Amino acid sequence: MPQGQPLTVPEDGLSTRQRRNRPLVMVHTGDGKGKSTAAFGVALRGWNQGWRIGVFQFVKSAKWRIGEQTVLERLGELHRETGEGGPVEWHKMGSGWSWRRKQGEESDHAEAAREGWEEIRRRLAAETHDLYVLDEFTYPLAWGWVDVDEVVSTLRDRPGRQHVVITGRRADPRLLEAADLVTEMSKVKHPMDAGQKGQRGIEW
């Protein structure tokens, strides 16, 4: 894509503007580092455009707070205070699902993941957000907790102009086929290979 220009122009009857503004399903997969980080980068750009941002983390503990969460939630506060950017919601697995009545740790992770996906389906139908970040969502799909075909059909038929970013390793081929943009992160070298643990500002 030299200078951001597409290599081909399909005969789909759409104008350049219409084609450019179509909503996207994006998948960040592969064994390398940076899948979630790239998705949160999209969220930051979306916030700057005034988009309504919804982040849904499917595997990380509800007690574990990553640096991007602090930044995006602070940007959500800035929006409420000044009107700058857009609103931000951040939800985590288990007790992090803020629409749950039950608080505390959730032992049945499969049920929690399914409940989280059902909430996302409701929000897609209602066009609640402009950008959905489904972080580490490939894992409940791979484990059979959430039906892949249902996810694909829901994303395909979602109304309006809603973008969706899905992250995680080993994305299902059906999800990759349905996506508009797929990036595979491959590891070339990592400090953990030399016995170094994760550190502040790099991993969280």
Please write the tens of the pLDDT for every residue from 110-141.
Answer: 888 999 999 999 999 999 999 999 999 999 99
b/e string for 115-146 if b means 16 or more Cβ within 10 A?
bbbebbeebbeeebbbbbbbbbbbbbbbeebb
Q: What tens digit of pLDDT does each residue of 48-65 get? A: 999 999 999 998 655 566
Are 106 and 112 in contact, with CB atoms under 8 Å apart?
Answer: yes
Model confidence at 158: pLDDT above 60? yes
For residues 83 and 175, what is the distance between their CA atoms, to the nearest angstrom?
A: 36
pLDDT > 70: what percent of the chain? 79
List the single range of 71-85, 153-167, 184-198 with lowest mean pLDDT: 184-198
Model confidence at 9: pLDDT above 80? no
pLDDT at 85: 98
Three-state SS at 84 = coil
Which residues are CB-neighbours of 80 under 8 A, at least 6 positions away? 87
Structural domains for the chain: 24-99+106-165 (3.40.50.300)
Contacts for 104-113 with beta carbons within 8 Å, 24 or more apart?
A: 105/62, 109/145, 110/140, 110/143, 110/145, 113/58, 113/140, 113/145, 113/146
- Residue 184 structure tokens: 């595979």
3-class secondary structure for 15-37?
CHHHHHCCCCEEEEECCCCCHHH
Q: Using DSSP, how many helices (H) and how many strands (E) does the chain show?
A: 7, 6
For residues 81 and 132, what is the distance between their CA atoms, to the nearest angstrom?
A: 23
- Residue 193 structure tokens: 């290979």
pLDDT at 197: 80
pLDDT at 101: 46
Taking alpha carbons only, the member of 120, 63, 126, 49 closest to residue 89 is: 120
pLDDT at 104: 46
One-letter amino acid at 45 equals: R
186 vs 61 pLDDT, higher one: 186
Q: What tens digit of pLDDT does each residue of 69-114 get? A: 999 999 999 999 999 999 999 998 755 555 554 554 545 678 889 9
